[in-house]
Amino acid sequence: MTILLLAVVAIAVGFFIGAVGVGGILLIPPLVWLGGLNIHEASATALFSFLGTGILGTWLFQKRGSIDWRMTVPTCAGAIVFSYLGAMLNSMVEARLLALTIAVIIIFAGAYILLPSRRGGEKPRDGRGAAQQNLLFGVGAVAGFAAGFSGAGGPLFSVPMMLLLRFVPLATVGTSQVLQIIVSISGSIGNLQYGSIDFRTAAWITLFELVGVVMGTRAAHAVSAAVLRRMAAGLCIALGIIMLIRSL
pLDDT tens for residues 35-52?
Answer: 889 999 999 999 999 999
Domain extent for 38? 2-247
Task: Give the C-alpha distances (Å, rounded to integers) separating 159 from 89, 156, 198, 242.
Answer: 23, 6, 27, 24
Q: What is the pLDDT of residues 113-142, one digit of tens each?
A: 676 655 555 678 888 899 999 999 999 999
**Rg (alpha carbons) of the chain, rounded to whole number:** 16
Q: Which 3 state secondary structure label does DSSP give 25?
A: helix
One-letter amino acid of 155: P
Q: For 83-121, how does the pLDDT look when each residue is reduced to its tens digit (9 = 90+)?
A: 999 999 988 988 888 888 888 887 887 787 676 655 555
* Cβ within 8 Å of residue 97, ≥6 positions away: none
Task: Work out the burial of residue 37: count CB atoms within 10 Å of its CB; fewer than 13 is exposed, 13-18 middle, 19 or more buried.
Answer: buried
Give 166: exposed, middle or buried? Use CB within 10 Å, 0-12, 13-18, 19+.
Answer: middle
Rounded Cα gap, residues 242 and 248, in angstroms: 10
Q: Say if residues 47 and 184 touch (Cβ distance below 8 Å).
A: yes
The predicted model gives 229-233 an average pLDDT of 73
DSSP assigned state of 124: P
Whether pLDDT at 79 is above 70: yes
Number of domains in the chain: 1
Closest by CA position to 124, among listed 174, 52, 172 = 172
Please give the full DSSP string across 171-205, using - where no structure is assigned: HHHHHHHHHHHHHHHHHHHHHHHHS---HHHHHHH
Whether the Cβ atoms of residue 63 and residue 124 lie closer than 8 Å to each other = no
| pTM, rounded to two decimals | 0.84
